[in-house]
Amino acid sequence: MSTVSGKAWRFGDEINSDLLAPGLYMKSSNEIMATHCLESVDPAFAKTVQADDIIVGGHNFGIGSAREQAALSLRILKVGAVLAESFARIFYRNALNFGVPCLFFPQYKEINAGDNLSVDAVAGKIQNLTSGKNYIVDPIPAHLMEMIVDGGLMPHLKKKLVKGKAA
């Protein structure tokens, strides 16, 4: 499904991979690490984020080390999408590989924490259900959205291999 609806979690510029996957927990399981996601900027985030909630960030979201656990933490927490003015390129690719849709959203400052949003990643439509504003952004191509819906790159490839064997 390309559309998710949830509560907006608003963050600023330069949210780095160490904030998403704190280095202190690198020797822990990915699930434990995810419980500490963004705790230094919002201690309530990992404890209260709900499935399909939407992160809204500013410039260079995911900057920092190339640790894939940053994107994986968002997947484990079932974040529905990340909207940001711009992304660190490795984080962006890791997020798609883990099945977390990321959309470039220059109007991020118009979203308030707690707003209810609907995001259609294939159509590139974002609705702020709280304010009534609608936005159009560059969509995620359908072939990448198929990978995201399948749960990310590895589940998508496994699905393709099974289909190939059945043919």
Q: What is the mean pLDDT of residues 23-27?
A: 92
How sure is the predictor about 28, in pLDDT bands with cuts at 50, 70 and 90? very high
Ranked by mean pLDDT, the top range of 1-10, 111-120, 141-150 is: 111-120
Output the furthest CA–CA distance in the chain (Å, rounded): 50
Those residues whose C-beta lies under 8 Å from the C-beta of residue 165, and which sit 6 or more positions away, are: none
Total domains in the fold of the chain: 1
For residues 105 and 84, is the Cβ–Cβ distance under 8 A?
A: yes
**Which structural domain, as residue segments, surrounds residue 161?**
3-166
Q: What's the CATH code of the domain at 96?
A: 3.20.19.10
Q: Is the pLDDT assigned to residue 156 strictly greater than 80?
A: yes
Q: How far apart, in whole angstroms, are the C-alpha atoms of residue 167 and residue 162?
A: 9
pLDDT in tens, 107-125: 999 999 999 999 999 999 9
- Quote the pLDDT of residue 2: 76
Average confidence score pLDDT of the chain: 95
Q: Is the pLDDT assigned to residue 1 strictly greater than 70?
A: no
- Quote the pLDDT of residue 166: 61
Amino acid at residue number 80: G
